[in-house]
Amino acid sequence: MGDKKILRLNSSGRSPWYHADGTVTKSYVIGVAGGSASGKTSVAERILKNLNVPWVVIVSMDSFYNVLSPEQSKRAHENNFNFDHPTSFDYEALYETIYKLKHGKSVNIPIYDFSLHARSDKTTTIYGANVIIFEGIYGLYDKKIRDLMDLKIFVDTDADIRLARRLQRDIAERGRDLEGVLQQYTRFVKPAFDDYIQPTVKHADVIIPRGLENVVAIDLITKHIQRELTERNLHFRWDLANIPIEDGIPPDVLVLPETNQIKGMHTILRDKKTARDEFVFYAERLSTIIVEAAFNLLPFENTTVTTPVNAEYHGMVFRQKLCGVSILRAGGTMETGLRRVHSDAVIGKLLIQTDPSTGEPQLHYCKLPADVKDHQVVLMDATIGTGAAALMAIRVLLDHDVPEENIIFTVYLAAPVGLNVIAKAFPRVKIVTSMVDPVLSKETLYIEPGIGNFGDRYFGTEDE
Ligand SMILES: Nc1ncnc2c1ncn2[C@@H]1O[C@H](COP(=O)(O)OP(=O)(O)O)[C@@H](O)[C@H]1O
Ligand SMILES: O=c1ccn([C@@H]2O[C@H](COP(=O)(O)O)[C@@H](O)[C@H]2O)c(=O)[nH]1
């Protein structure tokens, strides 16, 4: 009870938030400050609703209250602890969180429970916000945090209205009684507002008198943000044709030797007459070989074991954590191969689809293990054509702090253009493919001679 929910809107896919060279576009950060119950959260929610863009988030400063000692906690339950003094917050943690979010990183945010005066043991993970609204009574207090903001707002609501709303809210939602709220208000809330919070108004770019009721101010702010977002080109249009790239295969790409076996499997997989069960069998056989080759690039350690005849054998062992990440759907076809090679790999998923109206890849879903950064990652897809989906998938892993050199990208088939796009943006990512086809059609963006829609052929969802 009494915890503020972190609002996220991810209603549609996320367009690229990075440039073709792999570097990220910084998110737009809005700070909203004002007295308690002035309407900060309500204004923030309304701005996001009016903006109507996906992948936005509201982060509340409440999540960053300092952790209380047992003695402080006892006082808090007696309404005798000063939560309104500027020293009540952990500004370092706050700065780090907003900084990481602004730079596209994934963060874990504590959830605060006002009825317990403590962080709950749950956190919420936020990843991928194009617009971040950060709200709190001291939202504009800390200079380092202010410097991360693109727009600073102060919500200025009369003291009597704030008190009336606070009474109603704290009794209804935060487990308080009338006497307690009034005691806390006169002892701490009002003096802190007058002494510390009100003076931060001088840092605001915009002051909103009356909060949510001020439709005109909210409308002007929304339009300003929309203009800024357009200028920053957040709706990044994918245009690989403009990137100068070489035709050859980058030196660090591992292409499997063209043995009769590999060629034979490709012959079956590329033949449009191949039936589905045969397609699945050979896809899984080939994926096993590709993942085996990828495994050769992983860091193994020396080890010694004793054989059944009590002799020593000096061998090698892979001791690190391994995570397979499949780019859905087609990347899922490699999971069987991965499990055959390393049965206890954890599996993450990314759903990346092409927006038919813009031709851009869009991120729709991302599920990775919380500690993915500690894993060697085998990123799996069926093909690399333009490299657009691959670039997005690698960017997602880097945003989750996976080191670039710990990523191996595995595919059945690639076109030189895509290989070069990836190598240029992320030169330390290793790529393993079983074959390279020379042509990527400029009209259809299909690889030629190609292999068709691998996902549809594998999962049996081809059109008649
Ligand atoms: N313009 C308004 N009219 C009526 N109630 C409002 C208005 N703005 C906010 N409230 C209510 O007042 C309370 C405090 O608002 P909130 O936005 O949570 O303030 P803050 O985030 O500044 O503490 C909430 O219960 C909210 O629903
Ligand atoms: O444990 C707590 C923590 C904070 N408070 C009060 O909350 C407000 C800040 O939240 P708003 O949503 O901005 O009103 C602050 O004035 C503290 O007094 C609390 O009572 N208990």
Q: Are residue 220 and residue 320 in the same domain, yes or no?
A: no
* Amino acid letter, 446: Y
For ligand 1, whether the C-beta of 212 sits within 6 Å is yes
Residues 125 and 245 in one domain: no
CATH classification of the domain holding 197: 3.40.50.300
Are 169 and 257 members of one domain?
no
Pairing of strands 375-380, 407-414: parallel
Separation between Cα atoms, residue 295 and residue 174, nearest integer Å: 54
Contact 111, 3 (CB under 8 A): yes
Q: What pLDDT is attached to residue 79?
A: 86
104 lines ligand 1 (CB under 6 A): no
Q: Note whether residue 41 is domain-resident.
A: yes
Q: Is the beta carbon of 136 within 6 A of some atom in ligand 1?
A: no
Q: Is the ipTM of this complex over 0.85?
A: yes
Of 137, 155, 169, 176, the one to substitute when testing ligand 2's pocket (max ligand atoms within 8 A of C-beta) is 137
Residue (of 23, 32, 42, 1) closest to 131 by Cα position: 32
Bridge partners of residue 108, in order along the sequence:
125
Query: What does DSSP assign to residue 65?
Result: B
Query: Which of 176, 211, 234 is the last residue in one of the domains?
Result: 234
Cα 14–17–19 angle (5° rounding)? 140
The answer to whether residue 16 sits within a structural domain is: no
For residues 454 and 442, state if they share a domain.
Answer: yes
pLDDT at 234 over 90: no
57-66, 77-86, 222-231, 449-458: least confidently modelled range: 222-231
**Of 234, 259, 275, which marks where a domain is finished?**
234
User: Does residue 426 lie in a domain region?
Assistant: yes
Report if residue 14 sits inside a domain: no
Same domain for 304 and 213?
no
Considering its fold, how many domains does the chain have in total? 2
Is the per-residue pLDDT at 1 higher than 50? no
**One domain, residues 335 and 192:** no
Q: Are residues 301 and 425 in the same domain?
A: yes
Closest ligand 1 atom, CA of 60?
21
Q: How far is the CA of 174 from the centre of ligand 2 (A)?
A: 9
Cβ distance 327 to 350 under 8 Å?
yes
Rounded-to-10 torsion of CA 287, 292, 297, 302: 160
Q: At what angle do helices 40-51 and 215-231 cross, to 10 degrees?
A: 50
Sign of CA dihedral 279, 282, 284, 290: negative
65 lines ligand 2 (CB under 6 A): yes
Does residue 208 have its Cβ closer than 6 Å to ligand 1?
no
Give domain status of residue 418, yes or no.
Answer: yes
CATH number of domain containing 304? 3.40.50.2020
Same domain, 373 and 400: yes
Same structural domain, 315 and 338: yes
Kind of pairing between the strands at 118-126 and 131-135: unpaired
Q: Are residues 378 and 431 in the same domain?
A: yes
Same domain, 308 and 363: yes
- Does the CB atom of residue 381 touch ligand 2 within 6 A? no
Residues 451, 446: Cα–Cα separation, whole Å? 9
Give the model's pLDDT for residue 302.
97
Distance separating alpha carbons of residues 218 and 151, to the nearest angstrom: 13
Instruction: Please check whether residue 299 is in contact with residue 430, taking contact to mean a CB–CB distance below 8 angstroms.
Output: no
Provide the pairing of β-strand 301-306 with 312-317: antiparallel
pTM of the model: 0.87
- The boundaries of the domain holding residue 133 are 28-234
pLDDT in tens, 20-68: 888 888 999 999 999 999 999 999 999 999 988 888 899 999 999 998 9
pLDDT reported for residue 239: 55
| Residues near 422 by beta carbon (within 8 Å), at least 6 away in sequence | 384, 387, 390, 391, 394, 409, 429, 431
Question: How far apart (Å, rounded) are the C-alpha atoms in residues 262 and 433?
Answer: 11
Residues 223, 347 within the same domain:
no
Among residues 196, 211, 234, the one where a domain terminates is 234
Please name every residue paired with 124 in a beta bridge, in sequence order, or none if there are none: 109
**Distance between Cα 74 and ligand 2 center (Å):** 16
